[in-house]
Amino acid sequence: MKNSQNIPEEADWKRIDTEFGFSFPQDYKDLVTRFGSGEFGVGLCFRSPIDSSEYNILSPEAVVQHFEPIVDMKENAKLALYPDRFGAVIIGSIDRQDFLLRPDKTGKELAELLWWDIDTGKVKELNMSISRFVHDLYLGKIHEDWAVELRDYIWRNGTAPLFTQREES
């Protein structure tokens, strides 16, 4: 259901859960529903089931299309990708870094948040929800080198806003 503010509704999330065959975490749904379409800092975008951009729409077809040119890199990262059984689903990205959700052991829910640097093949299990990750990254509470670099890149050492709503035409 498309609305004028590009804010997904419960029916949109139910449709996506059905299309993928597992449920997305409520935390992710709440984050995307609250903020709508746009960017955290400079370029960090999360996918939405009703986004007007082909690069930010959340659908099985768009996820498969995103992975097609980089599918050979999954072996380096030792990472199963959707539509493989228990394959991770991209939910957000910035440049050549993706944020993924991997299904739990039952394959019914997307439970584990991952960060994947496509160029290096490095995959990091984040062990937190997506909203906690954005919050902690923004406040500089994640001290690993990759996270410090990502924070400085996204928020340009504090000069970029937390979030900028994308204007729809």
Q: What residue segments make up the domains of the chain, in order of their start?
A: 10-129
What is the topology classification, in CATH, of domain 10-129? SMI1/KNR4-like (3.40.1580)
Spell 31-40 as b/e; 16+ CB within 10 A means b: bbbebbbbbb
H-only helix segments in the chain: 10-20, 26-35, 60-67, 74-77, 130-138, 145-155
- Per-residue pLDDT tens digits for 26-61: 999 999 999 988 999 999 999 999 998 888 999 999
How confident is the model over 66-118, as pLDDT tens digits?
A: 999 988 888 888 899 999 989 999 999 999 999 999 999 999 999 999 999 99
